[in-house]
Amino acid sequence: MADGPILVIAGGAGFIGANFARYVAAARPEWRLRVLDKLTYAGDRARLAGVDAEFIAGDIADPEAAASVLAGARWLVNFAAETHVDRSLQDAQAFLRTNVTGTFVLMSAAGDAGVERIVHVSTDEVYGESHGQAFREDDLLRPRSPYSASKAGGDLQVLALHATYGLPVCITRGANTIGGWQHPEKAVPLFTINALLDKPLPVYGRGEQRRDRLHVDDHSRAVLSVLERGEVGTVYNVAAGNNRDNLTVVRAILERLDRPESLIRFVEDRPGHDWDYIMDASRLAGLGWQPEHDFESALNLTVDWYVEHRDWWEPIVSGEFRRYYDRQYGQRLATSEAYRP
Ligand code: NAD
Ligand code: TYD
C-alpha cells in the first residue's frame, strides 16, 4: 500500500467511481486510496479488482461512517448516489436519502475532518432540458425528474456549505457517461446486452431524445483535473460534444454487433423524458481538459467491452435484475411497435 496522502473515494465501487479509482491508482501511485461504498444493487467490488485501495462498506448518510472514513484524509471525491432515472420514477425515497441527505452528511463530515479539497460529482440533468442551447455553469437549475431534482438538492447543499463555512469544494456536472463496467440497466449496456442475446431493444418513444455520450475515461480525467486545479466554490461542466439521438445510438450498436435492426422496438415513453442536455465545457477546457473520445470511439469501446465481459454481466442480468426488467419493460414490450426504416 502507498504511504502518501489519503484520497477518499465515496461511491468508488460504482461505474464511474471505480474507473476513477483505477485511473488515479495508475496516475498517482503515491496516493493512498480509501473507498467508501454502501454496495447497493449498483455497487460491485469486482470493479476494483487489482486496485490497491482500502475498502470500507458504509453509507454516506451515516455520520459515524462518514467521520471515520475521512479521518486523516487530504482529499475527497464523492460519486456515491442513486443514479437511475427510471428507478427514481418507481420510488424516489432512496434518491432523497442518499443524494440530498447523504451528500450533506458526507460534506459536513469532510468540513469537520479538515479535508483540504473536495469534488462533488453531479450531472448535466440538474439543468433540465436544454433544447439545443448549451448550458453554462451559472444557469438556473430546472431539474425535471426525481433523480435530477435530488442531485440538484445535493449540489445546492454543497454550495451552501461552501458559502457558509468555506467548505473547499468544487462540483463537476458530467454528461451521460458510457464505458465498461456500467450496470446493465442503463441504456447503452441494456441495448448492447439485449442485442447480444437476440432480444428486443426497447427504445422509449421514437428514440428522438438526444444525449451527449462521454467516455468514462474522459470523465475520470476531468474529475482529477478539477480536484488538482479547480477553483474552490466553482462548478465545472464535463461535456464531450458527442450529442446523438437514441435511435442513432441503437442503430450504431446493432451495426457494431452485426445484428438486425428488426430487434428495435419503440415502447411507451418515459414520463417527463428530458429532450436533451447540451453543455458548454469551456470552463473545464481552461484547466487543460479536452475529451479524447469522439462518439464512435466511446461507443465502440463500450460495446466491445460487453462482448468481452459476459462473465461479469451474465450473472447480473439473470438475478434480481429480472424482476426489475419485467416491471420496467414487460407491459411496454407487449404493446411495442417495430421500427421501420
Ligand atoms: P452507479 O450507480 O454505477 O454507482 C453509484 C455507487 O454509489 C454504487 O457503487 C453504490 O453502491 C454507491 N452508493 C449508493 N448509495 C450510497 C450511499 N448511501 N452510501 C455509499 N455509497 C452509496 O453510478 P455512476 O454512474 O458511477 O455515477 C456516479 C456519480 O456520477 C453519481 O453521482 C451520478 O449522479 C454521477 N453522474 C453519472 C453519470 C452517468 O451517466 N452514469 C453522468 C453524470 C453524472
Ligand atoms: P439512461 O441510460 O437511463 O440515462 P438518462 O436517462 O439519465 O439520460 O438513458 C439514456 C437515454 O436512453 C434516455 O434518453 C432514455 C433512453 N432509454 C431508452 O430509450 N430505453 C431504455 O430502455 C433506457 C434504459 C433508456
Quick one: pLDDT at residue 126? Answer: 98
- Which residues, judged by CB distance below 6 Å to any ligand atom, belong to the binding site of ligand 2? 85-86, 176, 186-187, 190, 202-204, 209, 211, 246, 270
pLDDT in tens, 200-237: 999 999 999 999 999 999 999 999 999 999 999 999 99
Q: How many CA atoms lie less than 13 Å away from 126 in the CB half-sphere?
A: 25
Please give the single-letter amino acid code of residue 239. A
Residue type, 18: A
Q: Which of 58, 66, 142 is nearest to 103 (CA)?
A: 66
**Nine-digit cell at 86?**
427510471
Mean predicted confidence (pLDDT) in 30-55: 98
Share of the chain above pLDDT 70, in %: 100
CB-CB contact of 136 with 280 (8 Å): yes
Select from 34, 39, 40 the residue to mutate for testing ligand 1; criterion: most ligand atoms less than 8 Å from CB: 40
Confidence of residue 2 (pLDDT cuts 50, 70, 90): confident
Q: Helix/strand/coil (H, E, C) string of the chain?
A: CCCCCEEEEECCCCHHHHHHHHHHHHHCCCCEEEEEECCCCCCCHHHHCCCCEEEEECCCCCHHHHHHHHCCCCEEEECCCCCCHHHHHHCCHHHHHHHHHHHHHHHHHHHHHCCCEEEEEEEHHHHCCCCCCCECCCCCCCCCCHHHHHHHHHHHHHHHHHHHHCCCEEEEEECCEECCCCCCCCHHHHHHHHHHCCCCEEEECCCCCEEECEEHHHHHHHHHHHHHHCCCCCEEEECCCCEEEHHHHHHHHHHHHCCCHHHEEEECCCCCCCCCCCECCHHHHCCCCCCCCCHHHHHHHHHHHHHHCHHHHHHHHCCCHHHHHHHHHHHHHHCCEECCC
Q: What is the mean pLDDT of the chain?
A: 98
> Which residues' Cβ are closer than 6 Å to ligand 1?
10-11, 13-17, 36-40, 42-43, 59-61, 79-83, 98, 102, 121, 123, 151, 174, 176-177, 183
Residue found under cell 418515459: 270
Helix pair 15-27, 216-229: axis angle to 10 deg: 60
pLDDT value of position 268: 98
Confidence at residue 236, expressed as pLDDT on a 0 to 100 scale: 99
Mean of the pLDDT values across residues 16-33? Answer: 98
Task: List, for residues 227-279, the tens digit of each pLDDT value.
Answer: 999 999 999 999 999 999 999 999 999 999 999 999 999 999 999 999 999 99
For residue 46, give the ligand nearest its CA.
1
* pLDDT tops 80 at residue 58: yes
User: Whose CA is closest to atom 35 on ligand 1?
Assistant: 122
- So what's the pLDDT on residue 319? 84
User: Do 67 and 45 form a contact (C-beta atoms < 8 A)?
Assistant: no
Q: Determine the Cα–Cα distance for residues 201 and 263; give it in Å rounded to an integer.
A: 6
Mean pLDDT within 47-61: 98
Query: Mean pLDDT throughout 297-320?
Result: 97
- Its pTM surpasses 0.95: yes
Look up cell 450473472; give the residue.
Answer: 315
User: Region 287-299: what's the mean pLDDT?
Assistant: 98
187 phi and psi angles, rounded to 5 deg: -55, -55
| pLDDT for the residue 3 | 84
Contact (CB, 8 A) for 212 and 274:
no
